């Protein structure tokens, strides 16, 4: 591009901004219409992407090769089932577990916790990033020592309320059919504290008290296994393993593979992202119509001025560029304001958190909006496109006005 063309384009933009300044109210209203698209794209796009990525990562962290098997309400897991599961050559480890919900006193507040009686080393092996930061693991056969999650030991301000050696009284609930039927109190001794994990999907280690498997029957008084935790040698076996189990047991078991859930979550996230993107495109289409309407009005009003420009030597191409510069100036201005508001909106929206409700409990997930360069590039690109498409018709109209006719226009 030659220097004279670049100089002309720079001048065209300078003149375009002067037009916008002259017609402030109309320009402001058009900008409002334009900014909605980029605002929605940035705000919703980044929040959806942020939460999607968080959810998928959290599920993936739970172990791509981990599978959890729950019995249906009318089926009881037995040693026979456990042996059958262990008979698969690619099953590395399979251990039954007991789970219950309870409430503990943490300072002045009651905190809801999960109580797992399980082979603790297996859990630590399966869940990436979960470590003991204080104390140690309960000895094998010890039914009262507990490894507690971070939010059990610490309050929201990071104050330690339970340290190693302290006794925690848990009011344990017995849940049947999704309803708490009975409660009773048990005491456990804190022997180890886990690091802050942050995850809160499907399984929340921070709000969990881990006991040895033996505590399931002896302390929690749960007669039947709540489920079997299985670790496969490699994630590639997950599909075959879960399919075989489902074929063998039918509705008797619920088989949850974290890797598969991650894939489903990822697909859902993609679908939500697509829906959000198409919604944003609708807003951008409205912006195109807004720009076209504004620019057509502007061209009609400035017919005489366009005639003067042609009289002094502006070519039709230069007139087109002048009008496009105006529509682009509007879209870039509206787009920039929209994107800035989108960022602010994204943080406001994300700070509210996402509540995931279960039958008896709910958790609030908070994820940072994913404000990626790609999202800004895409939004900026579409904003520019809106300006160009919106300006095409008026620019064409302006270029086709015969100069002699334009100069006579009243």
Interface residue list for another protein (CB under 8 A) = 2-8, 11, 15, 18-19, 21-22, 304-305, 307-318, 402-404, 407
Which one, 228 or 329, has the nearer CB to another protein?
329
The residue among 109 and 301 lying less far from another protein, judged by its C-beta, is 301
Select 258 or 314, whichever has its Cβ closest to another protein: 314
Q: Which is nearer to another protein, 180 or 317 (CB)?
A: 317
Please say which residue, 311 or 344, places its beta carbon nearer to another protein: 311
Q: Using N-to-C axis directions, what is the helix angle for 373-400 and 258-301, rounded to 10°? A: 30
CB of 334 to another protein, least distance (A): 21
CB of 403 to another protein, least distance (A): 5
Smallest gap, in angstroms, from Cβ of residue 22 to another protein? 4
As measured in angstroms, the least distance from the Cβ of 324 to another protein is 16
Question: Residue 298 corresponds to which tokens in the numbers above?
Answer: 């502007």
Q: Which is nearer to another protein, 8 or 347 (CB)?
A: 8
Each residue of 303-333: b (16+ CB within 10 Å) or e?
bebbbebbeeebeeebbbbbbbbbbbbbbbb
Instruction: State the minimum distance, in angstroms, from the CB of residue 3 to another protein.
Output: 7
171 C-beta neighbours (distance < 10 Å), count: 15
Q: Which residue, 108 or 312, has its beta carbon nearer to another protein?
A: 312
Q: Shortest approach of another protein to residue 2 CB, angstroms?
A: 8
Q: Do strands 179-194 and 145-148 pair parallel, antiparallel, or not at all (unpaired)?
A: parallel
Residue with Cβ nearer another protein (114 or 314): 314
Please, what is the minimum distance in Å from the beta carbon of residue 410 to another protein? Answer: 10
Work out the number of other CB atoms within 10 angstroms of the CB of residue 292: 17
Torsion sign over Cα 220, 213, 150, 154:
positive
Closest approach of Cβ 275 to another protein, in Å? 43
């Amino acid at each position: 591009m030659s220097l004279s063309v670049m100089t002309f384009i720079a001048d065209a933009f300078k003149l375009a901004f002067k037009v916008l300044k002259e017609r402030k109210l109309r320009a402001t209203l058009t900008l409002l219409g334009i900014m909605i698209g980029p605002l929605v794209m940035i705000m919703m796009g980044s929040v959806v992407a942020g939460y999607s990525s968080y959810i998928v990562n959290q599920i993936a962290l739970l172990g791509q090769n981990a599978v959890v098997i729950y019995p249906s309400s009318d089926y009881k897991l037995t040693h026979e089932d456990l042996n059958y599961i262990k008979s698969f050559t690619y099953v590395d480890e399979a251990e039954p577990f007991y789970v219950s919900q309870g409430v503990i006193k943490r300072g002045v507040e009651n905190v809801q916790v999960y109580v797992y009686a399980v082979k603790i080393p297996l859990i630590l092996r399966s869940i990436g990033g979960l470590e003991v930061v204080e104390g140690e693991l309960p000895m094998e056969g010890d039914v009262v020592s507990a490894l507690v999650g971070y939010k059990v030991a610490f309050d929201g301000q990071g104050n330690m309320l339970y340290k190693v050696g302290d006794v925690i009284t848990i009011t344990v609930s017995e849940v049947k059919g999704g309803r708490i039927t009975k409660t009773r109190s048990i005491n456990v001794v804190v022997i180890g504290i886990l690091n802050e994990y942050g995850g809160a999907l499907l399984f929340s280690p921070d709000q969990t008290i881990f006991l040895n498997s033996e505590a399931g029957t002896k302390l929690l008084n749960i007669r039947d296994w709540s489920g079997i935790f299985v670790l496969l040698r490699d994630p590639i076996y997950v599909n075959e393993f879960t399919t075989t189990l489902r074929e063998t047991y039918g509705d008797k078991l619920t088989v949850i593979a974290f890797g598969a859930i991650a894939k489903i979550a990822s697909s859902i996230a993609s679908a939500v992202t697509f829906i959000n993107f198409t919604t944003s495109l609708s807003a951008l289409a409205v912006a195109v119509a807004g720009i076209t309407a504004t620019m057509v009005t502007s061209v009609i009003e400035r017919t005489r001025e366009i005639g003067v420009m042609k009289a002094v030597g502006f070519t039709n191409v230069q007139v087109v560029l002048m009008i496009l510069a105006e529509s682009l100036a509007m879209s870039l201005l509206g787009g920039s304001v929209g994107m800035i508001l989108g960022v602010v909106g994204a943080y406001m929206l994300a700070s509210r958190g996402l509540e995931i409700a279960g039958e008896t409990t709910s958790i609030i997930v908070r994820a940072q909006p994913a404000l990626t360069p790609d999202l800004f590039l895409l939004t900026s690109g579409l904003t520019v496109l809106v300006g160009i498409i919106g300006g095409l018709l008026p620019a064409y109209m302006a270029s086709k006005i015969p100069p002699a006719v334009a100069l006579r226009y009243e």
